[in-house]
């Protein structure tokens, strides 16, 4: 059994809202300079980091080799490294609740060789969606900067990024875990209390108002989330 390994042990930091995903393939550099898919088990971890230096979403790529974590191959990044330099600071309502930005999420890994991640920036009041595509050259790594990776394992392009404006009038008293679902060009952000599932959607550059579904013994959080997912998928 492998011993416990600390992947981000900076002092005086709070690590919150951990999310995990696994991919099973990686784009490998070939002798002719092209890339082709090859088997590779990779654990992806993302979390919200809060410290005296500020708040940010962070990411770790953790290759698994022979059933154990390859410590020498661990990569840790601020997720902001993958979205380029965007100086625009969006103005939000005076009572804006930034909690909606503090829950990075893996929304999909459709090809098993990349992950799509949604995360927020509480400094600029933005939400980003990035596609991270590990490639194997001298080592397995994630290219930094915005490139032309198309997620099909056929090239070594850098991350693809989409920058969104946060829901600037969001003032709902959400707290605790937030679930993010991607369906086509729509994103759903949902938060549950003991009595309700609350959610809002992003589509075509516009955020909906917050909507609520009453929960009961017969309608659980999971069932309500599934119903919202189906409803958004059919629109």
pLDDT per residue as tens digits for the range 33-52: 888 888 989 999 999 998 77
The angle at the Cα of 167, spanning 169 to 116, to the nearest 5 degrees, equals 165
The HSE-up count of residue 52 (CA atoms within 13 Å, CB side) is 3
Q: What is the pTM of this model?
A: 0.85
pLDDT per residue as tens digits for the range 118-133: 999 999 999 999 989 8
- Average pLDDT value over all residues in the chain: 85
Phi and psi at residue 229, to the nearest 5°:
-60, -50
pLDDT per residue as tens digits for the range 74-90: 899 999 988 877 667 88
């Amino acid at each position: 059994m492998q011993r416990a390994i600390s992947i981000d042990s900076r002092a005086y930091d709070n690590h919150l809202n951990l999310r995990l995903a696994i991919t099973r393939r990686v784009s490998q550099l070939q002798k002719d300079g092209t890339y082709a898919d090859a088997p590779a088990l990779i654990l992806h971890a993302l979390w919200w980091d809060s410290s005296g230096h500020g708040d940010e979403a962070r990411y770790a790529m953790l290759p698994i080799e022979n059933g154990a974590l390859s410590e020498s191959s661990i990569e840790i990044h601020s997720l902001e490294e993958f979205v380029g330099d965007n100086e625009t600071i969006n103005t939000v309502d005076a009572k804006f609740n930034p909690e909606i930005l503090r829950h990075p999420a893996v929304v999909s890994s459709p090809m098993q060789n990349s992950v799509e991640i949604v995360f927020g920036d509480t400094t600029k009041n933005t939400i980003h969606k990035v596609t991270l595509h590990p490639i194997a050259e001298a080592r397995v790594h994630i290219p930094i900067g915005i490139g032309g990776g198309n997620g099909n394992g056929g090239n070594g392009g850098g991350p693809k990024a989409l920058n969104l404006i946060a829901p600037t009038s969001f003032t709902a008293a959400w707290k605790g875990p937030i679930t993010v679902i991607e369906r086509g060009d729509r994103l759903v952000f949902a938060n549950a209390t003991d009595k309700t599932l609350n959610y809002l959607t992003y589509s075509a550059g516009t955020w909906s108002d917050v909507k609520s579904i009453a929960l009961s013994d017969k309608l659980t959080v999971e069932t309500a989330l599934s119903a919202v997912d189906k409803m958004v998928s059919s629109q």
